[in-house]
Amino acid sequence: MIDERSQAAQYWSANLRLIVGCLVVWALCSYGFGILFRPWLAGVAIGGTDLGFWFAQQGSILIFIGLIFFYSWKMNKIDQEFGMEE
Protein backbone atom coordinates (compact mmCIF):
# COMPACT_ATOMS: atom_id res chain seq x y z
CA MET A 1 0.00 0.00 0.00
CA ILE A 2 2.79 2.42 0.89
CA ASP A 3 4.70 1.62 -2.30
CA GLU A 4 1.55 2.21 -4.35
CA ARG A 5 1.08 5.64 -2.75
CA SER A 6 4.72 6.48 -3.32
CA GLN A 7 4.45 5.53 -6.98
CA ALA A 8 1.26 7.58 -7.34
CA ALA A 9 3.01 10.57 -5.72
CA GLN A 10 5.98 10.20 -8.09
CA TYR A 11 3.63 9.94 -11.07
CA TRP A 12 1.74 13.07 -10.00
CA SER A 13 5.02 14.92 -9.37
CA ALA A 14 6.28 14.04 -12.87
CA ASN A 15 2.95 15.15 -14.33
CA LEU A 16 3.06 18.48 -12.48
CA ARG A 17 6.67 19.15 -13.53
CA LEU A 18 5.66 18.59 -17.15
CA ILE A 19 2.63 20.87 -16.86
CA VAL A 20 4.59 23.64 -15.14
CA GLY A 21 7.38 23.38 -17.71
CA CYS A 22 4.92 23.65 -20.59
CA LEU A 23 3.16 26.61 -18.96
CA VAL A 24 6.47 28.42 -18.43
CA VAL A 25 7.43 27.96 -22.10
CA TRP A 26 3.94 29.07 -23.21
CA ALA A 27 4.00 32.17 -20.97
CA LEU A 28 7.53 33.11 -22.00
CA CYS A 29 6.71 32.85 -25.70
CA SER A 30 3.27 34.44 -25.70
CA TYR A 31 3.53 37.06 -22.95
CA GLY A 32 7.29 37.46 -22.67
CA PHE A 33 8.42 37.56 -26.30
CA GLY A 34 5.18 39.04 -27.63
CA ILE A 35 4.76 41.83 -25.06
CA LEU A 36 7.53 42.28 -22.48
CA PHE A 37 10.61 41.63 -24.62
CA ARG A 38 9.19 43.05 -27.86
CA PRO A 39 11.35 46.19 -27.81
CA TRP A 40 14.50 44.05 -27.63
CA LEU A 41 13.28 41.78 -30.44
CA ALA A 42 12.34 44.68 -32.74
CA GLY A 43 15.73 44.64 -34.46
CA VAL A 44 15.40 41.01 -35.57
CA ALA A 45 13.51 40.64 -38.85
CA ILE A 46 11.52 37.52 -39.70
CA GLY A 47 8.95 37.19 -42.47
CA GLY A 48 9.00 40.91 -43.30
CA THR A 49 8.31 42.07 -39.74
CA ASP A 50 10.11 42.18 -36.40
CA LEU A 51 10.43 39.08 -34.24
CA GLY A 52 8.36 40.49 -31.35
CA PHE A 53 5.39 41.14 -33.63
CA TRP A 54 5.80 37.68 -35.16
CA PHE A 55 5.65 36.06 -31.70
CA ALA A 56 2.59 38.10 -30.78
CA GLN A 57 0.70 37.23 -33.97
CA GLN A 58 1.86 33.79 -35.12
CA GLY A 59 4.77 32.45 -33.12
CA SER A 60 2.93 31.96 -29.86
CA ILE A 61 0.18 30.02 -31.65
CA LEU A 62 2.68 27.75 -33.40
CA ILE A 63 4.57 27.18 -30.16
CA PHE A 64 1.31 26.40 -28.37
CA ILE A 65 0.46 23.76 -30.99
CA GLY A 66 3.97 22.36 -30.65
CA LEU A 67 3.53 22.22 -26.87
CA ILE A 68 0.33 20.20 -27.29
CA PHE A 69 2.18 17.56 -29.28
CA PHE A 70 5.17 17.65 -26.90
CA TYR A 71 2.89 17.25 -23.86
CA SER A 72 1.10 14.30 -25.45
CA TRP A 73 4.37 12.58 -26.40
CA LYS A 74 5.99 13.18 -23.00
CA MET A 75 2.87 12.20 -21.05
CA ASN A 76 2.74 8.90 -22.96
CA LYS A 77 6.36 8.25 -21.92
CA ILE A 78 5.54 9.07 -18.28
CA ASP A 79 2.48 6.79 -18.43
CA GLN A 80 4.64 3.94 -19.74
CA GLU A 81 7.29 4.56 -17.09
CA PHE A 82 4.74 4.23 -14.29
CA GLY A 83 2.64 1.48 -15.90
CA MET A 84 -0.38 3.73 -16.50
CA GLU A 85 -0.66 3.36 -20.27
CA GLU A 86 -3.99 2.50 -21.81
* C-beta separation of 15 from 72 below 8 A: no
In a 3-state reduction of DSSP, which class is residue 85?
coil
**b/e burial code for range 39-49 (CB count within 10 A of at least 16 → b):** eebeeeeeeee
Of 84 and 12, which is predicted with more confidence?
Answer: 12
pLDDT tens string 21-76: 999 999 998 888 888 888 888 888 887 888 888 888 888 889 999 999 999 999 99
CB distance 74 to 18 below 8 Å: yes
Locate the domains of the chain by residue range: 18-81
